[in-house]
Amino acid sequence: MNENVSKPYVFVYKCVIGAGRTQDGFGMEFGVNHLGHFLLTLLLLDRLKQCAPSRIVTVTSLLHRFGDVDFALLDQTKDLVRGENSVTRFMAYCHSKLCNSLFTRELANRLEGTNVSCFCVHPGVVRTELGRNSQWWMNALLTPISRLFFLDPEGGAQTTLHCVLQEGLEPLSGRYFSRCSVAQGSAKSRDDALAKKLWEVSERLAGI
């Protein structure tokens, strides 16, 4: 962090992919990648408003384009997929990244006029330990590919840092960024009705 930066920021960055359930029984990707970040941000909102101008940066993914939100399934299973195989967990990750994008859109709508802005970013395909809990054969397949074609962590941080530090981005609150520029998210990620419903369901699931 630049020592000269005095504005408050929330980094909603941690994400996981893999099987399992959270302590509250939610599917791991949905519970960690979306619901936990949703709750944390809401708990900090009053402070962010007091300290405005401030920014909230949520890390989504290009894979949000493959995502969907099945509210009936979520109510039944506390997850966005059925099953624990590699394909369903990958899809759960895609669904959770769509949730990140929808959360940012609805958050921007609710924060209009507060001098708190928010952005969601696709950092690029980065060499991280995101898949450390995946099956061994998947890691064996992806490791050589990642070393050849994926961004290193420094390169993968650039779009996030752009949304944190670049001056004059406030009018773009709620938008999706990739490669340090505004990009077009999927049609579902720009659906205000879907974003509002996800917000309301998330409030209920988080006990707010």
Q: Taking Cα atoms as reference points, which of 124, 67, 129, 71 lies closest to residue 97?
A: 67
How big is the chain by its Cα radius of gyration, in Å?
A: 17
Residues found in the chain: 208
Residues annotated catalytic, as ranges: 93
